[in-house]
Structure 1
């Protein structure tokens, strides 16, 4: 049976510099997704034209820069992540080639074979964030699972997380002892659901 071997990570986009190549609907969608998750994300968007929604959005965020010009290798300088978000396959491939040569992680929209990482569906409830991946097979399925989780996770989960954080700070012992104690305390959360 095929399995998903992706390693999930959460990027602190306010500490990185992201390049998005493409100012149309796809670029707008990718920039919007990043800003929904990290309003302080530092994003440069390079394109010869920008759709109106992206222009309006960029004005609302200090760290989003729209650069009206064709993509060039120099656009990669100082960037840690790149998203090729055009509907021009040749341009996307060129961006991929240049990013790989510069050792910059890249996502080419709708082209899983040219992605170092995927932008998954994300469920957020306060400090709880869950990323969903279908290994690039079906973003639509990830979207549906997101809806299910969003509805089933109680709104009070953030208060529970705050309480557990305060409790963790008061526990005695080394890391392993604290983990054991917290596992015992939170075991009831899973056991109650099984009943």
Structure 2
């Protein structure tokens, strides 16, 4: 069985500058995924052509910039993440080579072996975000799990998170004692109903 070497990380996307190479359907999908999770994301899209839907995003999100040109090494300057989002595997490989040479993390669409990171399926309920990854094996399964979790997690969970945040701010003591108190408070969330919850 293949080992899963992924370590889930949540980026503060509003602090990063992302380069998307490709202005077609894949580029649009990747840009939308980022903007749905962080409307303040700074995204530069480089391509010779852009879908009208991608151009429309620039009116809604001021931090997305479209540059009509072919990708070059200079496009990597000042970028924190790169997404190669064209339907040309050879060109995506070229982008990957340049990104690796510049030590910039890269995601290459539909090519898991070239990805430093994946854009997982995201379940959002207020402040709660759950990222789902299948280690590049089946994005379709991740999408289905997202649907199941989206329906199963109550919308009121955000209220619970906000109240627990207030409690957490008022707790005194060291880290270990705060964790112990919060564990005691939240234990009711995982007790089986048969235990009198």
TM-score > 0.5 by shorter chain = yes
Structure 1 residue 171 and structure 2 residue 182: aligned? no
CA distance in 1, matches of 2:93, 2:193: 47
Q: Which residue of 1 aligns with 2:144?
A: 144
SS at match of 1:18: strand
Q: Which residue of 1 aligns with 2:105?
A: 105
User: Superposed, which structure 2 residues align to 1:45-84 within 5 Å?
Assistant: 45-84=45-84
RMSD over aligned Cα atoms: 1.1
SS at match of 1:59: helix
Q: Which residue of 2 aligns with 1:90?
A: 90
CA distance in 1, matches of 2:184, 2:114: 43
Structure 2 gaps, min length 5: none
Count of residues in correspondence between the two structures = 195
Residue by residue over 1:65-88, the C-alpha shift from the partner in whole angstroms, topping out at 9 and shown as x without a partner, is 000000000000000000000001
C-alpha deviation, 1:3, in angstroms:
4.1
CA distance in 2, matches of 1:83, 1:194: 49
> Cα distance 1:29–1:193, how it changes in 2: closer, same or farther (>3 A)?
farther
Q: Which residue of 2 aligns with 1:185?
A: 185
Structure 1 residue 154 and structure 2 residue 146: aligned? no
> Cα distance 1:166–1:86, how it changes in 2: closer, same or farther (>3 A)?
same
1:4–1:135 CA contact under 8 A, matched in 2: yes
Structure 1 gaps, min length 5: none
CA distance in 2, matches of 1:179, 1:64: 40
> Cα distance 1:59–1:177, how it changes in 2: closer, same or farther (>3 A)?
same
C-alpha deviation, 1:192, in angstroms:
3.6
Q: Which residue of 2 aligns with 1:32?
A: 32
C-alpha deviation, 1:193, in angstroms:
6.0
Q: What TM-score does the superposition give when structure 1 sets the normalisation length?
A: 0.97
CA distance in 1, matches of 2:99, 2:193: 46
Residue by residue over 1:150-175, the C-alpha shift from the partner in whole angstroms, topping out at 9 and shown as x without a partner, is 00001100100011001111112101
C-alpha deviation, 1:194, in angstroms:
7.6
C-alpha deviation, 1:184, in angstroms:
1.1
CA distance in 1, matches of 2:43, 2:137: 27
CA distance in 1, matches of 2:28, 2:194: 42
Q: Which runs of 4+ in 1 moved over 4 A?
A: none
Q: What TM-score does the superposition give when structure 2 sets the normalisation length?
A: 0.96
